[in-house]
Amino acid sequence: MTQPVGWRLGVMTSLCVDHVQQSWQQCIVENVRLLDRVSSRKAALGTLYLTATHVIFVENASETRKETWVLHSQISSIEKQATTATGCPLLIRCKNFQVIHLIIPQERDCHDVYISLIRLARPVKYEELYCFSFNPKLDKEERERGWKLVDLNEEYNRMGIPNNYWQISDVNRDYGVCDSYPTEVYVPKSATAHIIVGSSKFRSRRRFPALSYYCKDNNTSICRSSQPLSGFSARCLEDEQMLQAIRKANPGSDFLYVVDTRPKLNAMANRAAGKGYENEDNYSNIKFQFIGIENIHVMRNSLQKMLEVCELKSPSMSDFLWGLENSGWLKHIKAIMDAGIFIAKVLIEKDWVSFGHKFNHRYGNLDGDPKEISPVIDQFIECVWQLMEQFPCAFEFNERFLIHVQHHIYSCQFGNFLCNSQKERRELKIQERTYSLWAHLWKNRADYLNPLYRSDHSQTQATLHPQIASCNFLYKFWSGMYNRFEKGMHPRQSVTDYLMAVKEETQQLEEELEVLGERLASLQKVQSNDNKVKSKQQDQNKELGRSTSNISLANTPQEYNSNLKSFPSRSPSQGDEEDSALILTQDNLKSSDPDLSANSDQESGVEDLSCRSPSNGGCLPSEDSGKDSDEAVFLAV
């Protein structure tokens, strides 16, 4: 599946040609400029290619020929701006928060690209998605194994289910009761098929209460369902019995908490539509609680607003904080955190995929109603990150894992996150026709481990108790995600990578020591040069670990003098004319010192040792559009 990094261009061109015959007019535009999002002065001249799966920009600069690859499925919006003297600007915003700002010389070319991309970014059929053509060259067996990596029944077994209180029900075997639930559903033993079916009829989209998480330490459980169709007064005996059965399956508790994740107002408004919430009077021993998590429309707008803040060109601290606050994003994150009882090992597969989260609708992989799109999983992933920040030792995975999962939710490279329910996924034969992300991530798991995680650590042992009450400051802006492609903004040295390298080295040294000991035992005094070489390499490893993120952008000073140009007008008393001659711009630096751009890595806080990129060679989302454009291997078909 991993192809050498060097082949890209040749294959790519032939791919283009392939697709010309299929459905696509070949699209190559020359003399396109790619603008840098942080520094407006930096723009790269190059050629733009459209293939069936990617938008590719290749820089002209002969020594680097830097490539930027963007999957069509990652594109969230395309904006054509008014033509200027320099050309026609095209803004491509991606779901993984990359923003590509192109300037295309000819208005007509720009329009063609625009129209093509609109069509390419929103395929109408599932079959057009990348995962159906993506082939990492695994045999059938490997593919099947990949899909079996996460076995839900095993997950429930881990929780100690089935047991005396809970069992698997096959009531949904042909998706007969609820088409957005999986075939196997865990319910209380005392809930008969009659009760389940009855209850499902009283629930929106027939999503009856089913087990989500079971805590075997104290026999408590979390169930989930949709809203009841209660309207203003309707009741359903079976539904009441269902909740009763759930309560009895939690022998330790006298009450059942019903948590409604909507603001109360929204829930009340829903009553007019025949939906609503459980009436405490009709259900015995329940306690009702609203938690004001806003609906998907509010969330979508909030994310949109926050991303606009991220896009601001050299904002002041105030612009940024105001914008962040006005977006309300962190407020929503906090609301979700307040609501959630999160478990250390967070299982995305179980909670999100099997239980009919509307992946297709929410992530807009196919052309559909834009109002159905919502960033709920982004919020979930961010919540996990916020927890990781508070409990650095509690999670086995690291930030990179979250970012890559988020990337692949939208990349459509793997079949996991396609469609809206298990039913749809089965109908499309996803497991036979696409590959599983988990297998891919598992293969590269070394890159996703948190070096601070120890299974015997106290933070991993017990439930986490996040500091929720009035600790607003704990919720931070996640620039690692939302400004993921603005490398210059991130810490220049990665503690995680360094510690991983350290761990690896320690292990290697120990192994080496063992080998040496054995050899010494047999050959008392022979020394071979081989060892020297080995240890040298390891030593380099350690150095490399320290200097992971060296991208040219990170290695040059920023425009600390962004308002330099406006300076002369600010000193009217002087009336200086020559100010303009002294500009500390990047362009000036480059022209005055041709070596500078090439050397710039040396001028940074991070040394220019060829980077130990953890994502080298795998088909991982590209974070680094530097020398090795990882995005390229996406096409390693």
Summarize the annotated binding site for substrate as residue ranges.
Answer: 295-296
Q: Is 485 in the site for another protein (CB under 8 A)?
A: no
Q: Give me the least distance between CB of 207 and another protein, in Å please.
A: 30
Q: Is 602 in the site for another protein (CB under 8 A)?
A: yes
Q: Is 609 in the site for another protein (CB under 8 A)?
A: no
Q: How far is CA 610 from CA 28, 174, 391, 409, 459, in A?
A: 32, 55, 32, 30, 36
Q: Nearer Cβ to another protein, position 119 or 492?
A: 492
Contact 367, 356 (CB under 8 A): no
Tell which one of 45, 124, 341, 471 touches another protein (CB under 8 A).
Answer: 471
Burial degree of 383 (CB within 10 A; 0-12, 13-18, 19+): buried
Distance CA 500, CA 434 (A): 32
Contact 386, 337 (CB under 8 A): yes
* Maximal C-alpha separation, the chain: 90
Q: Is 502 in the site for another protein (CB under 8 A)?
A: yes
Q: Is 498 in the site for another protein (CB under 8 A)?
A: yes
Q: Which residues are registered as beta bridge partners of 70?
A: 55
Q: Is 490 in the site for another protein (CB under 8 A)?
A: yes
- Contact window for another protein (CB under 8 A) among 68-76, 376-384, 436-444, 569-577: 569-577
Q: Is 495 in the site for another protein (CB under 8 A)?
A: yes
- Contact window for another protein (CB under 8 A) among 10-18, 121-129, 439-447, 555-563: 555-563
Helix (H) or strand (E) holding 359: helix 359-363
140-179 mask for another protein (x: CB under 8 A)?
----------------------------------------
Q: How far is CA 134 from CA 18, 53, 257, 293, 341, in A?
A: 15, 10, 45, 37, 37
Buried b (16+ CB within 10 A) or exposed e, 484-500: bbbbbebebbbebbbbb
Q: Is 557 in the site for another protein (CB under 8 A)?
A: yes
Backbone angles phi, psi at 325, to 5 degrees: -65, -45
Contact 337, 383 (CB under 8 A): yes
Tell which one of 477, 485, 618, 631 touches another protein (CB under 8 A).
Answer: 477
249-278 mask for another protein (x: CB under 8 A)?
------------------------------
- Contact window for another protein (CB under 8 A) among 9-17, 127-135, 574-582, 609-617: 574-582
Q: Tokens representing 282?
A: 């009709």
Q: Give me the least distance between CB of 539 and another protein, in Å please.
A: 5
Instruction: Write the CB contacts of 478 (distance below 8 Å, at least 6 apart in sequence).
Output: 382, 385, 386
Q: Give me the least distance between CB of 589 and another protein, in Å please.
A: 6
Q: Nearer Cβ to another protein, position 213 or 498?
A: 498
Contact 631, 58 (CB under 8 A): no
- Contact window for another protein (CB under 8 A) among 161-169, 182-190, 436-444, 488-496: 488-496
Q: Is 301 in the site for another protein (CB under 8 A)?
A: no
**C-alpha 519 chain-centroid distance:** 47
Q: Is 505 in the site for another protein (CB under 8 A)?
A: yes
- Contact window for another protein (CB under 8 A) among 187-195, 280-288, 343-351, 480-488: 480-488
Q: Which residues are registered as beta bridge partners of 75?
A: 94
Q: How far is CA 576 from CA 565, 568, 580, 585, in A?
A: 13, 7, 9, 19
Q: Give me the least distance between CB of 97 and another protein, in Å please.
A: 12
Backbone angles phi, psi at 496, to 5 degrees: -60, -50
Q: Nearer Cβ to another protein, position 22 or 316?
A: 316
Beta strands in 3-42 (DSSP E): 27-35
- Contact window for another protein (CB under 8 A) among 125-133, 189-197, 341-349, 565-573: 565-573
Q: Is 607 in the site for another protein (CB under 8 A)?
A: yes
Contact 565, 583 (CB under 8 A): yes
Q: Which of 419, 344, 446, 349 is nearest to 150 (CA)?
A: 349
Total site size for another protein, rule CB under 8 A: 94
Q: Give me the least distance between CB of 550 and another protein, in Å please.
A: 11
Tell which one of 62, 84, 233, 316 touches another protein (CB under 8 A).
Answer: 316
Residues between 396 and 425 that touch another protein (CB under 8 A): none
Tell which one of 457, 518, 565, 598 touches another protein (CB under 8 A).
Answer: 457
Q: Give me the least distance between CB of 624 and another protein, in Å please.
A: 16
Do β-strands 256-260 and 286-290 pair in parallel, antiparallel, or remain unpaired?
parallel
- Contact window for another protein (CB under 8 A) among 10-18, 227-235, 275-283, 447-455: 447-455
Tell which one of 85, 458, 530, 595 touches another protein (CB under 8 A).
Answer: 458
- Contact window for another protein (CB under 8 A) among 17-25, 188-196, 356-364, 554-562: 554-562
The conformation of residue 47, written as its DSSP 8-state character, comes to: E
**C-alpha 125 chain-centroid distance:** 23
Helix (H) or strand (E) holding 360: helix 359-363
Residues annotated as binding site? 295-296
Q: What DSSP letter does each residue of 585-610 carry, written as one string?
A: -HHHHHHH-THHHHHGGGGSSS--SP
Distance CA 440, CA 118 (A): 29
Instruction: Write the CB contacts of 613 (distance below 8 Å, at least 6 apart in sequence).
Output: 548, 624, 628, 630
Q: Give me the least distance between CB of 561 and another protein, in Å please.
A: 5
Residues between 513 and 552 that touch another protein (CB under 8 A): 513, 516-517, 520, 525, 527, 531-532, 535-536, 539, 546
Q: Give me the least distance between CB of 445 and another protein, in Å please.
A: 19
Q: Tokens representing 258?
A: 């019903």
Residues between 317 and 376 that touch another protein (CB under 8 A): 317-322, 324-325, 328, 330-331, 334-335
Helix (H) or strand (E) holding 132: helix 130-133
Angle ∠(567,324,326) on CA atoms, nearest 5: 110
Residues between 2 and 61 that touch another protein (CB under 8 A): 38
Contact 382, 397 (CB under 8 A): no
Tell which one of 91, 489, 541, 599 touches another protein (CB under 8 A).
Answer: 489
- Contact window for another protein (CB under 8 A) among 20-28, 98-106, 180-188, 456-464: 456-464
Tell which one of 470, 522, 594, 595 touches another protein (CB under 8 A).
Answer: 470
Q: Nearer Cβ to another protein, position 20 or 468?
A: 468
Q: Nearer Cβ to another protein, position 26 or 459?
A: 459
Q: Nearer Cβ to another protein, position 413 or 450?
A: 450
Distance CA 483, CA 99 (A): 10
